[in-house]
């Protein structure tokens, strides 16, 4: 249980929950640079306060805080200071799989099948098979059972996994630790198929486009999210929006003359009327968010929208129960309170966003879990994949 709260030494260390680190020397070194000390001190502030130190222009403050929220935490919160320079990261660009993020899973599935593995989908696991105190397999909703020769590896959300075996097997310390897990601000994702593609006018004339954009008018708007989350209310005027229109670059996604638009961001999951109230209001919320977005793209109107798929925070959880309460990173990953790769029940391993260093598409939890699993099987990663 030495890996209970953090990654084991020798594994990839957890990233800071905000992945935007400044490109300066290590402040822990014996002779840190002036810049390193300055940025280290900025990091412990909120993104809002740090942005006001760095930028005179409210537009640059808002742009960085808005883009900083993509990592799941709002820049109103202490410790989110590095969001104040999130645009530095975004200027480097972000890798996107051709065909969309789903192609990562599809390709991994093909790799498994090409190596005599089997991938079964639409098979919800409802129980862990326990024999002599050891996890030996899983039982699915249709009653089918699958036995693991050496063990079982889970990416089921740990809050759900713990319902799948007797409570006394998890141990009190682990149970207490998971009890206090908090969801992060829930996510919404509104998808639109468009005739034409978005263009943003430039102040000096002409226009610009891009694979992603971030919108928030006023830096102080970031404070609305926590207040609304506490109240279960929505204030739609100026929430930070993440705009994705990768079809402009990846022409495999839409025919010529057409494009795709995704507007996403954080909104409260638990509305004061209950999370199911999202079903009643999501189309109207999406209309308002779309209208707000269209103010920035005068070449488009609602007439350009051919079809849409509107996913509210509760829809995201319904799509994938591991996105507990709409947390696409499975939980608020700031506090380093992750599940261990070796779970308290022998033979059961956990990977994915509930383990260090948390959610996002990094591959790091998988790699770390593989190291632990191989170690228990008397092997090393280097032996199996040819490098460490
Ligand atoms: C709209 C949206 C946009 C995002 N944008 C980004 C981004 O730009 N960059 C980024 O890095 N990350 C992004 N993310 C977050 C990212 O997708 C997640 O952090 C990541 O997928 C977590 O990976 P994972 O393998 O741990 O779990 P998941 O991808 O959540 O996979 C868990 C799997 O377990 C399955 N499962 C759950 N319960 C059971 C059960 N009982 N039985 C069987 N199967 C079960 C689920 O169906 C799912 O297939 C986004 C997420 C969403 C929803």
pLDDT computed for residue 315 by the predictor: 98
Would you say the CB of residue 187 lies under 6 angstroms from ligand 1?
yes
Would you say the CB of residue 316 lies under 6 angstroms from ligand 1?
yes
Would you say the CB of residue 313 lies under 6 angstroms from ligand 1?
no
Q: What is the CA radius of gyration of the chain?
A: 22
Side-chain-side CA neighbours of 299 within 13 Å: the count stands at 13
Q: Does residue 9 surpass a pLDDT of 50?
A: no
The CA 231 to ligand 1 mean position distance, Å, reads 27
What one-character-per-residue DSSP string does 196-213 give? S---EE-TTSSEE--SEE
CB 351 within 8 A of CB 365: yes
Both tokens of 311, joined, read: 């996913």
Using the atom order of ligand 1, give the atom closest to the CA of residue 351.
26
DSSP code at position 235: -
pLDDT computed for residue 89 by the predictor: 81
pLDDT bin (cut points 50, 70, 90) of residue 167 is very high
Q: Is the dihedral of CA 56, 60, 66, 72 positive or negative?
A: negative
Ligand 1, atom 45: closest residue by C-alpha? 156
Q: Does residue 7 surpass a pLDDT of 70?
A: no
- Average pLDDT (81-106) is 88
In sequence order, which ranges of 115-253 are alpha helices (DSSP H)? 158-161, 172-179, 223-231
* pLDDT, the chain, mean: 91
- Average pLDDT (218-242) is 97
pLDDT bin (cut points 50, 70, 90) of residue 11 is very low
Ligand 1, atom 9: closest residue by C-alpha? 360
Residues 85 and 23: their CA atoms lie apart, in Å, by 11
Pocket probe for ligand 1: among 120, 165, 264, 320, the residue whose CB has the most ligand atoms within 8 Å is 320
Ligand 1, atom 43: closest residue by C-alpha? 124
The CA 268 to ligand 1 mean position distance, Å, reads 19
Q: What tens digit of pLDDT does each residue of 265-322 get?
A: 999 999 999 999 999 999 999 999 999 999 999 999 999 999 999 999 999 999 999 9
pLDDT bin (cut points 50, 70, 90) of residue 94 is confident
Residues 120 and 228: their CA atoms lie apart, in Å, by 40
pLDDT computed for residue 92 by the predictor: 80
Residues 321 and 47: their CA atoms lie apart, in Å, by 30
For residue 350, the surrounding DSSP H or E stretch is: strand 348-350
Both tokens of 173, joined, read: 């310390």
106-182+329-385 is classed CATH 3.40.50.1820 = no
End-to-end CA distance of the chain: 23
For residue 318, the surrounding DSSP H or E stretch is: helix 313-319
For residue 242, the surrounding DSSP H or E stretch is: strand 241-244
pLDDT bin (cut points 50, 70, 90) of residue 28 is low
pLDDT bin (cut points 50, 70, 90) of residue 18 is very low
Q: What tens digit of pLDDT does each residue of 126-161 get?
A: 999 999 999 999 999 999 999 999 999 999 999 999
Using the atom order of ligand 1, give the atom closest to the CA of residue 164.
41
Residues 160 and 180: their CA atoms lie apart, in Å, by 14
Q: Does residue 13 surpass a pLDDT of 50?
A: no
Residues 30 and 43: their CA atoms lie apart, in Å, by 19
Would you say the CB of residue 141 lies under 6 angstroms from ligand 1?
no
Beta-carbon neighbour count of residue 257 at 10 Å?
9
Residues 132 and 318: their CA atoms lie apart, in Å, by 34
Residues 68 and 152: their CA atoms lie apart, in Å, by 36
Dmax (CA) for the chain in angstroms is: 72
Would you say the CB of residue 19 lies under 6 angstroms from ligand 1?
no
Beta-carbon neighbour count of residue 145 at 10 Å?
11
The CA 316 to ligand 1 mean position distance, Å, reads 10
φ, ψ dihedrals at 348, nearest 5° = -110, 125
Both tokens of 352, joined, read: 């994915």
Q: What tens digit of pLDDT does each residue of 325-369 get?
A: 999 999 999 888 999 999 999 999 999 999 999 999 999 999 999
Residues 366 and 341: their CA atoms lie apart, in Å, by 9
Ligand 1, atom 52: closest residue by C-alpha? 328
Q: Does residue 178 surpass a pLDDT of 50?
A: yes
The CA 195 to ligand 1 mean position distance, Å, reads 29
Q: What tens digit of pLDDT does each residue of 57-72 get?
A: 999 999 999 999 998 8
CB 355 within 8 A of CB 157: no
CB 263 within 8 A of CB 311: no
Both tokens of 55, joined, read: 């930028």
Specify the range with the lowest mean pLDDT, choosing from 5-9, 25-29, 163-167.
5-9
Share of the chain above pLDDT 90, in %: 80
Domain ranges of the chain: 1-94, 106-182+329-385, 187-321
Q: Does residue 29 surpass a pLDDT of 70?
A: no
| Cα–chain center distance at 189 | 12
């Amino acid at each position: 249980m030495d890996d209970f709260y953090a990654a084991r030494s020798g594994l990839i260390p957890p990233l800071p929950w905000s992945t935007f680190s400044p490109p300066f020397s290590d402040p822990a070194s014996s002779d840190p640079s002036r810049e390193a000390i300055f940025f280290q001190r900025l990091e412990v502030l909120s993104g809002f306060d740090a942005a006001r130190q760095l930028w005179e222009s409210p537009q640059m403050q808002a742009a960085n805080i808005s883009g900083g929220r993509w990592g799941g935490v709002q820049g109103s919160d202490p410790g989110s200071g590095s969001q104040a320079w999130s645009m530095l990261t975004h200027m480097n660009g972000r890798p996107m799989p051709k065909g969309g993020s789903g192609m990562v899973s599809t390709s991994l599935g093909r790799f498994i099948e090409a190596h005599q593995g089997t991938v079964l989908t639409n098979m919800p696991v409802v129980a862990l098979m326990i024999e002599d105190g050891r996890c030996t397999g899983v039982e699915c909703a249709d009653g089918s059972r699958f036995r693991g020769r050496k063990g079982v590896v889970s990416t089921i959300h740990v809050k759900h996994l713990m319902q799948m075996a007797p409570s006394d097997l998890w141990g009190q310390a682990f149970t207490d630790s998971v009890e206090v897990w908090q969801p992060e601000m829930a996510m919404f994702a509104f998808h639109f198929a468009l005739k034409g593609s978005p263009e943003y006018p430039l102040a000096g004339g002409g226009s610009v486009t891009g694979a992603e954009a971030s919108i928030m008018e006023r830096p102080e708007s970031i404070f609305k999210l926590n207040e609304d989350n506490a109240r279960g209310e929505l204030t739609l005027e100026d929430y930070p929006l993440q705009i994705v229109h990768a079809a402009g670059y990846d022409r495999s996604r839409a025919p010529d003359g057409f494009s795709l638009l995704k507007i996403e961001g954080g909104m409260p999951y638990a509305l004061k009327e209950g999370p199911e109230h999202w079903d009643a209001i999501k189309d109207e919320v999406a209309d308002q968010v779309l209208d707000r977005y269209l103010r920035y793209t005068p070449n488009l109107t609602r007439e350009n929208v051919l079809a849409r798929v509107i996913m509210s925070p509760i829809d995201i959880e319904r799509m994938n129960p591991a996105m507990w309460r709409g947390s696409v990173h499975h939980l608020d990953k700031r506090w380093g309170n992750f599940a261990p790769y070796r779970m308290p029940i022998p033979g059961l391993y956990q990977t994915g966003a509930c383990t260090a260093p948390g959610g996002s598409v990094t591959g790091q939890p998988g790699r770390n879990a593989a190291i632990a699993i191989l170690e228990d099987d008397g092997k090393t990663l280097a032996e199996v994949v040819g490098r460490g």
